[in-house]
Structure 1
Amino acid sequence: MAVAIVTDSTASLDPVDAARERIEVVPLQVIIGAEVHTEGVDVTADMIAEALAAYVPVSTSRPTPDDFLTVYERLASEGATEIVSVHLSAKMSGTLDSAELAAKQASVPVTCVDTRHVGIATGFAAGRAAQVRDAGGDALAVADAARKAGESSTTLLYVDTLEYLKRGGRVGAAAALIGSALAVKPLLGFKDGSVVPLERVRTASKALARLEAIALEACRACDDGFDIGVQHLANPTTADAVAGRLAAELGRDSVPVDEVGAAIGAHVGPGMVAVVVTPA
C-alpha cells in the first residue's frame, strides 16, 4: 500500500523539507483588509505584522472541503492507496473539519489526525508520520505516529499582548488574563487543543526566562531524544537569543529558528516567540 501524507500550511514546513519528505501541504487563506491571499504563495508573516501594526483588519479562512478533495484525488491518481491528513487543533480552526468532510468523498481511505497543536508541533507530527511511512508502516501506524507526536508535544508561547488572540476568538481559557493584559506578559501553552495560561509574569525578560526553563524541563524529560524549534513573528532578535540560550543549555550547536506563517501570525500578533518540544 502506498500511503500519502497531507498537512496544512500552519504546520510551518519549509517547502524544500515538505518536498523531500513527500508531505503535501494545503494552504489556508489570509485576508488583509479586502484582499484575499494564499499562505505560502502571495503573503508573508512580515505583511501580517505590518498590517496589524497599522490596524488593518486581518483574518484567516480554512481550506474548503473541495480544496482537500482535489489534493486527495490527485494523490490517489498518482498511486496513493491510503492518505493520512495531519492538521492543527480542531479547537483553533475548522481546517480539520474540512479535511474530514473531504475524506468522506475521497476515492481512497483518508485518516484525519488532530494534532491538538499549531505551528511546528503540527509540522513535527507530520514529519514523524513521514518517518513511519518511509520505514514501511501502514496508514494506521502512520496516523498513530502523528497522533502520538501531537499528544506528547509541548508548545509554549510568549506574546506581547493577548489582544490579537482575543480578536480572533482563539484565546480560550487564557481569557482570565485579559483583564490584566497591560500589567502582565502572558506566558501561554496548549492543553487539550486550546490555548491556556501558564503563568502571570510581570516583565518580558521574566516571561522569556520561564519559557526557556519550561522548555528545558520538557527536553530533559525526553528519554529517547526530541525535536525542538523556535518560532516568532517580527521578533527575530529575541527568538535568536532564546534559541541560543536553549542550544547552550542542551549542548547543541543550534536550535532552529523560523518566522511563523501568515495564518498563525494573524492571531498571535507581532512580538510573539514560541518554543515547541516534541519527544522522539
Structure 2
Amino acid sequence: MKIAIVTDSTAYLSNEEVLASNIHVLPLSVIFGQETYLECIDLGYQDFYNKMRTSDIFPTSSQPAFGYVLETFENLAKDYDAIISIHLSSKISGSYQTACTIADELKDIIPIYPIDSGISCAPQAQVVRLTKQLADLDYTPEEILPLCQRLLDDTHDYFVVDDLNNLQRGGRLSAGAAMIGSMLKIKPVLTFVDKEIVVYEKIRTQSKAMKRIDTIVSDTITDQGQNFEASIIHANCPEKALKWKETLQKEFPLLEIKIEQFGPVIGTHLGEGALGLGWAPKLENYR
C-alpha cells in the first residue's frame, strides 16, 4: 500500500527533510493587518520575529484554506492508496477538523486518516517521522495509527513564555490570568492537557521555570536518557536554548537533544523569547 503523509507547517520540518521523505506540507498563515504570509514560505523565522518586534499590529494566524487542502488531497489520491495527515492540536487550529471533513467527502475516492496530535512543533514532527518510518516498513494505516497514539501518550511537552500577553491576545490564555501573571512577573510552566495550553505551575522567573522542567525530565527519564530523545524549542533565543542543552546534557549524557525553533504561527501565540522542551522514547520503540 502506498501511503501519502501530510502534515501542517507547524511541525517545522526542514525543507531538506520534507523533500527527502516526500512529506506533503499544508502551510498555515500569519496575518499582519491586511498582509497575509504563508509561514516559512513567504515569511521565514527571523523575518517574522523582526516584523513582530517592530510592527504596531499584533499578528494573528489562520489555518490552511479548505480549498487548498481539498485540492492537495484530491491530487494525492491520483498516486496513493491512502493518506495519513498529522495536524497540530485541534484546540489551537481548525486544520484537523478540515481534514476530517474532507476525509468524509473523499471517502469513496481514497481513505484519509487524520490525526489530532494534540500538540505542535517538534513533538508533532516526531509523529510525522514515525508515520513515515512505519509506512516505509509496509505497515498499514490501521497498524500505524495506534502506534502514533502510543508515541503521543508517551510524549512530554513543557514550555515557558517570556510575555503572557501574546497568549492572552491570541485567545490561548484568559485575560485575568495574563494580567495577574504579568503583575507578579510570573513565568508559568505551560503544557498541553486535553489538547489545550494550560498552566502547569506558576514560577517567578524564567530560569527557575526551566529548572522546574529539568526536574520533570528527571522524574520521567531513566538510564541517563539512553532510550530517549528530546528537542529544545526556542522563539528567536538560540543562546538560551544552547545553554539549556548544555545543562541537560550534563545530567543526561546519553540523551539525544536537538535544538529546534518555534516558527511564525506558534511564535505568534507564544511571543519572542519563549522556550520549550519536548521528549519521548526513541522512535525505534514503536516498531
> TM-score normalized by structure 2?
0.89
Partner of residue 199, structure 1: 201
Aligned length in residues: 278
Matched, 1:161 2:163: yes
Work out whether residues 7 and 25 of structure 1, in 8 Å CA contact, stay in contact via their aligned partners in 2. yes
User: Which string of whole-angstrom CA distances, capped at 9 and with x for unpartnered residues, describes residues 75-133 of structure 1?
Assistant: 2212x101111111101111111111222223200011111111111111111111111
Work out whether residues 225 and 255 of structure 2, in 8 Å CA contact, stay in contact via their aligned partners in 1. no
Work out whether residues 188 and 197 of structure 1, in 8 Å CA contact, stay in contact via their aligned partners in 2. yes
The 1:278/1:253 distance shift into structure 2, 3 A limit, reads closer
State the one-letter code of the partner of 2:6: V
* Deviates further, 6-15 or 65-74: 65-74
Work out whether residues 83 and 110 of structure 1, in 8 Å CA contact, stay in contact via their aligned partners in 2. yes
State the one-letter code of the partner of 1:98: T
Show the 5 A alignment for 1:1-280.
Answer: 1-54=1-54, 55-78=56-79, 80-106=80-106, 107-171=109-173, 176=177, 178-183=179-184, 184-220=186-222, 225-252=227-254, 255-280=257-282
SS at match of 1:129: helix
Work out whether residues 230 and 280 of structure 2, in 8 Å CA contact, stay in contact via their aligned partners in 1. yes
SS at match of 2:90: coil
| Partner Cα separation in structure 2 for residue 175 and residue 117 of structure 1 | 24
Q: CA deviation at 1:254?
A: 5.9
* Deviates further, 208-217 or 185-194: 208-217
Q: CA deviation at 1:138?
A: 0.2
* Deviates further, 190-199 or 250-259: 250-259
Work out whether residues 83 and 112 of structure 2, in 8 Å CA contact, stay in contact via their aligned partners in 1. yes
Q: Which runs of 5+ in 2 are unaligned?
A: 283-287
| Partner Cα separation in structure 2 for residue 65 and residue 88 of structure 1 | 16
| Partner Cα separation in structure 2 for residue 279 and residue 231 of structure 1 | 18
Q: CA deviation at 1:152?
A: 2.1
Q: Which runs of 5+ in 1 are unaligned?
A: none
| RMSD over aligned Cα atoms | 2.2
- Runs (4+) of structure 1 exceeding 6 A deviation are 221-224
Report sequence identity in percent: 28
SS at match of 1:17: helix
